Structure 1
Amino acid sequence: MAKTTIRKSPIRKKSSKKRQSFFLLKFIVVSVLFLALVFGIYHYRNAILYYFSFKSDKVLKDDKIAQARIHQILDKYKDLTIGMDVSQYQGKINWEEVDSVENKFPLKFVLIRATAGNNKEDSQFDSNWKGAKKNNFIRGAYHYYRPNENSIEQADNFIKTVKLKIGDLPPVLDIEKLPENQSIDSLKVGLRRWLKKVDQHYKVKPIIYTGERYYNDFLKDEFSEYTFWVANYNFFVENIENDWQFWQFTEKARINGINENVDLNIYNGTPKMLLYLTIE
């Protein structure tokens, strides 16, 4: 009886298509990242060379690319008006040393946190308020609004703390957070109550500070009669929008006389135009 021969099925080689697809995808990702890096270096080439040339009189502790962006934007808008904003988080400031960014871009104005909520006074407000005036900055005071606290009490807190004078900027309402236990409509009512009371007291319409998303989603249309100070730190945003009177574009600036990082701002106009905004 003949033996039955069992044929073994040929071993199939693993398909190379998946492997080829994987390497193709990897190549594309690496190529995109490389091109993005090259574009970034090319785009910020002058600013990067500036910082790596050791023209700065201090060691840069922050990310050099972030500092290059700051330099790039300030150089682009050197004909506009550059300023900063400070609070107790910057610590004790030596105002006699504060005058510019990298000894190249003069600082013309400073916005100073005065109060927060219905009972908080910034611990450095009095010192910053006097120091800014003594060193000839155009100064302004802002209130950090807490959505879950009474708006009139918050306005009273600001009013009792801040004594504005001729040449100061209008009062500023800083709104950044959404309420926890009320609707957006109720929040807007509270904001208007604060704005109205402060307006009546100082006889000048306040400025509103907020983030770009908050501005676009909740405030832009219904509060269009107010001047806006808008924050956007996006690395790829380098242009100030026409409807932003002030643009806070970074929180990583280094300023002589201040030990901590500082927020920088651009006023969308010349220094002379900024004077027209001040209290007469």
Structure 2
Amino acid sequence: MPARELTTQQSPRKHPVGAAAVLAFLATLFCLAEPSLAYYPKKGDSAPHHGVRDARRKVIQGIDVSRWQGEIDWEKVKGAGTRFAFIKATEGGDHLDPNFRRNWAEAKRHGIPRSAYHFVWWCRSAKDQVRWIKKHIPRDPDALPPVLDVEWQNGSQCAKRISRQEALEKIEVMLKGLREHTGKKPVIYTDINFHEDILEGQYNDHPYWLRSTAAPLAKRYARDRWEFWQFTTTGRVPGITGDVDRNAFFGTEREFEAWRQGRFDIGTRTWHGGGPKTKVASRIPPATPAGLRAPKGAGGIKLKFAPPGRIPARTADNRDVERTGTVRRN
């Protein structure tokens, strides 16, 4: 229903308390809707969706880019608070993103952790694609683990849909190839349809990077956990002209840094050194207070303890059923 327009008889000047209340209410709604603006005030979204508000509240956020973002000013991208970047490197068995080398070098020069990703073509053999990956994706020790981008290529030259078994076999070969080449466990990127058709219940020890731009991931994927969320394709980031994909990391600062260093596996949530310290329960029972005195508040009476052999056994015959604390009473 459209709001009624104010007339001269309904001037806000005659109701200063009501106007102030309305303004306060609107400000509260704004804060509730976008509490994450304080994290990244320089970033935005040309078409924000309420369903992904939880992703915008994550402290560690990044982007993914390809040739379609044109020439990127990585200094401004860094200044906007970008914590990581997934950069397209290769596609199929014969395509190299023309902006990859520049984006790769510039992101590193400005101190942005970056990962290279390969876009899978189902029309090419897995071995051909692994050879192409090894030829063009650098074996950079300080790079983030690589990404295998698996989705259906609807509307492209390779619109072929293969069987689930064949798809999993190809994915297995390429995951193995990426890991052997970089020495790091790859991240799997996918969308809702491909995950449902092929990946549901598979590769649960690998980190997952999932796409959902209109709803929480839990409502779109049959998965217990995930590591990255691509929550919008219409993001706005200084240094990039037009729209760019924005992503959020599910984890703590410590986990993200340890993952970068190879000390924490975000896929299995296991530590390989330097993990959080936990208290180990002592196997030695605490000393008994025999011979000590009770606190002053309890009268300071010297404590007496019966030897273990003289403690009468409580049996069904000698229980006092009228006392509280007996088995039958409880």
Say whether the fold is shared (TM-score over 0.5): yes
Q: How does 1:148-159 map to 2 (within 5 A)?
A: 148-159=123-134
Q: Render the CA deviation track for 1:159-193: whole Å, top value 9, x for unaligned.
A: 11111322211111001116626322111111111
2:58 counterpart residue number:
77
Q: How does 1:1-280 map to 2 (within 5 A)?
A: 45-46=30-31, 62-63=46-47, 66=48, 72-73=53-54, 76-78=57-59, 81-99=60-78, 103=80, 106-177=81-152, 180=160, 182-234=162-214, 236-237=215-216, 243-278=225-260
Give the secondary structure class of the aligned counterpart of 1:263.
strand
Q: Check whether the contact 2:69–2:244 (CA below 8 A) recurs between aligned residues.
A: yes
1:21 counterpart residue number:
none
Give the secondary structure class of the aligned counterpart of 2:257.
helix
Q: Check whether the contact 1:167–1:275 (CA below 8 A) recurs between aligned residues.
A: no
2:313 counterpart residue number:
none
Q: Report the CA distance shift for 1:187/1:96 in structure 2 as closer, same or farther (over 3 A).
A: same
Q: Percent identity?
A: 27
> What's the offset of the Cα at 1:222?
2.3
Q: Which of 162-171 and 109-118 deviates more?
A: 162-171
Q: Check whether the contact 1:168–1:279 (CA below 8 A) recurs between aligned residues.
A: no
Note the residue ranges of structure 1 that are not aligned, 5 or more in a row.
Answer: 1-29, 31-40, 51-55
Supply the distance in 2 between the matched residues of 1:266 and 1:61 (Cα, whole angstroms): 14
Instruction: Decide which structure has greater helix share.
Output: 1
Give the secondary structure class of the aligned counterpart of 1:98.
helix
Supply the distance in 1 between the matched residues of 2:64 and 2:56 (Cα, whole angstroms): 19
The alignment's C-alpha RMSD in Å is 3.1
> What's the offset of the Cα at 1:278?
2.6
Q: Render the CA deviation track for 1:189-239: whole Å, top value 9, x for unaligned.
A: 1111111122222222211100134224421312222111111111x4387
Supply the distance in 2 between the matched residues of 1:195 and 1:49 (Cα, whole angstroms): 38
Give the secondary structure class of the aligned counterpart of 2:208.
strand
Give the secondary structure class of the aligned counterpart of 2:255.
helix
Q: Report the CA distance shift for 1:278/1:220 in structure 2 as closer, same or farther (over 3 A).
A: farther
For 2:145, the aligned partner's letter is: P
Supply the distance in 2 between the matched residues of 1:49 and 1:189 (Cα, whole angstroms): 43
Note the residue ranges of structure 2 that are not aligned, 5 or more in a row.
Answer: 2-25, 36-40, 154-158, 263-330
1:24 counterpart residue number:
none
Supply the distance in 1 between the matched residues of 2:27 and 2:72 (Cα, whole angstroms): 36
TM-score by length of 1: 0.71
Aligned residue pairs total 226
Task: Indicate the structure whose relative CO is greater, using CA pairs within 8 Å and at least 6 residues apart.
Answer: 1
TM-score by length of 2: 0.61
Give the secondary structure class of the aligned counterpart of 1:223.
coil
Q: Report the CA distance shift for 1:238/1:202 in structure 2 as closer, same or farther (over 3 A).
A: closer
